[in-house]
Amino acid sequence: MPKIYLSFVWHMHQPFYKDLVSGEYRLPWTRMHALKDYYGMVKVLEDFPQVHQTFNLVPSMLVQLDEYARGVAVDPFLRCANKDTGSLSDEEREFILRYFFQANVQKMIYRYPRYAELYEAFLAADENPQRAMRTFNNAAIRDLQVLSQLAWFDEEFLENDPVIRQLVEQARDYSAQDQAQLAAKQLEKLGMVAGVYREFAAKQQIEISATPFYHPILPLVCDTQIAETAHPYVPLPPRFQYPGDARIQLERARDYMTKEFGAAPAGLWPSEGSVSDEALSLAADTGFKWFATDNGVLARTIHHPGTPEVTYRPYLWHRDGRRMHGLFRDHTLSDLIGFVYSRMGAKQAADHFLNSIRANCAPILKSGRDALVPVILDGENAWEYFDLSGRPFLRELYSRISNDPNMEALTVSEGIAKVPAEKIDHIFPASWINSNFDIWIGAEEDNKAWEYLLRARETYDRVKDSVRPEQRELAFEELLIAEGSDWNWWYGPEHSSANRPDFDRLYREHLANVYRALELNPPEELSRPILRVDVKANHHTPRGPIQPKIDGEVSSYFEWMGAGTYSIDQRQGAMHGQRFLIQELHYGSDGAWLFLRIDFVKGSDETLRAAELRLQFHDTEVTVPLSASFESAPHDSRHIQASFGHIFEMRISQRSLGAATPIRFQVSVWKAGLPLDALPQQGTLELQSHDLNEWLG
């Protein structure tokens, strides 16, 4: 009987945060995710021995993890978390307040009542660290030092380590001894991560695959001009063409993984699923046996929609005497785990996932062949949005798979051995995102980053033989780091993070270190941010009074002319695929009424059903249901009027908002008690009183 084989590939990766010259780790996320995800994602399989999976580990992430585990890695976040509260400088206290609330608010901060209490106190200080310092005494700071670290501990540690469990139960009023205990536990748990992968690989329940050492986009390192194939006429920087570097990134990854785990990895998840014939040729020459990418790439390769019938099987790429098996992930199923199931119950989500697979596979099984279903996604960032780090969902999922006689979860190598492959003689050059390379090249910031990299690379070639071997080695290492994909992930218009300036600074420092290692002064351009795009670039303040008709329709082209506009910042975070609801906000006044118009993203009608709009003013919150009818809303219609048709329109009596000027406000969409979107994402918009006076004479 034909059977369904599932191949899960969990990709574990963080950028290389270490500055090789100073030795300092600039951001803490490798450490945080090692505490929270890397160990438990494997350990949970202990209860499901029939479930086999593949874990893709990036070597540069493992290098960082090893240094943390040995206690030699230092980052300012860890230093501030472990330092005795009484000896903190004002600068360090401000740093703690600025950065120690960087965690998922609903699932991580509010899980711990005292952490939530501190967060609300920070909000009350308008998220201003200097203002918050007036109200956060030593006890509050120490509780924040402890809880901001405790919130990142894996469920396995929270449940089974008595010291950590006691710290959770204590809840507040932590001592210096508690702080020291937690610091020691961090080192202990970080030291357990690599071992659990070796253990499960040894008993063949997991397969370990790899990514090129510093996570470069291989096709672009080979030749940036390849981006034109997927996106004709895309603006490109001067040509960067160093296939030798790409080969080194592959060889070093394979050598490192062999040393760490005792066997060479058969599989390759090329960074961001980025493939080209040249990149696969290098991978095959290096010794890799299989690769994986997205079924959008498959669709462009075989000129056929990436339906289950073509996606649920392995392929055999062969070209110029080289060959590699390939899997093309089911984009939809993978994104359901990454972005949707966190908002569902564990049982409901597991049922939906497996029922979707069964429905997709039914025609394949009926035709008499087995189905190999590739589910490939980020193995860490998604769990911040799930209850209990997603462990209830995974347990429900793995339990159902284990109990289904027609379904089996296999490693990629096991799956390839089970299901015959379809041959392909080329691969379309693209990444998993939109089947092109636009995230990493083409935008002004991206292209400038590539220009700077090219100049540093050419400088290295020109002067490398004039410096000592150790300097030459350091310069080249910094170049390989700068070739990583993570820097350009944050350049360009697509992604947003409070740490974007940190990534920009670290990228430029890596390039500056190339010049320093070569005994040259870094060019002045590296002292200035590459970042150019800012949220405020999409903000235009009101230019005159307005009096639009509140009917939920664009009744006249002129009725909102003169209004202020605030367009959505469509950047996303560490995971690509976040959904936005608010496309654009228009606002203005006639002196008596504040007028608001919201244009929602097309296709969001179903999401907005039964949702509500909240307007937060200085000391007033107004809630309005997002429905065509406003009569049921608990507001006095003499002060508020709203209508939702093709657009949402609303007016609010300024007198009802009190005498505060300027009028400051934020708009957010809520559903079932959860915020779905907001404008602006942080801070407020304001309507200045002097503007109104000037307009109205």
What domains lie within the chain, and their CATH numbers? 15-39+60-195 (no CATH), 444-533 (1.20.1430), 536-696 (2.60.40.10)
Q: Which residues pair with 595 in a beta bridge?
A: 588, 651
**Whole-number CA gyration radius for the chain:** 27
pLDDT of residue 674: 46
Q: Is 4 helix (H, G, I), strand (E, B) or coil?
A: strand
Side chain identity at residue 246, one-letter code = A
In tens, the pLDDT along 64-104 reads 999 999 999 989 999 999 999 999 999 999 999 999 999 99
As a whole number of angstroms, the distance between CA 55 and CA 63 comes to 16
Element (H, E) at 370: none
Distances (CA, A) of 63 to 14, 174, 253, 543: 11, 33, 11, 55
For 665, residues 6+ apart whose C-beta sits below 8 A from its C-beta are 594, 615, 616, 617, 684, 685, 686
CA distance 680 to 535: 9
Q: Which residues of the chain have pLDDT under 50?
A: 534-537, 573-578, 629-634, 674, 697
- 38: which DSSP letter? I
**Residue type at position 285:** D
Name the amino acid, one letter, at 54.
Answer: T
pLDDT tens per residue across span 572-594:
544 444 457 888 899 999 888 99
pTM: 0.79
The residues pairing with 268 across neighbouring beta strands, listed in sequence order, are 210, 291
Contact 546/588 with Cβ under 8 angstroms?
yes
User: For residue 634, with 0-12 CB atoms within 10 Å meaning exposed, 13-18 middle and 19 or more buried, which class applies?
Assistant: exposed
Judge contact between 651 and 596, C-beta under 8 A: yes
**pLDDT at site 637:** 63
Task: Map residue 123 onto helix, strand or coil.
Answer: helix
> Could you tell me where the beta strands, DSSP code E, fall in 20-124?
53-57
d(CA 609, CA 596): 20
Distance CA 341, CA 358 (A): 18
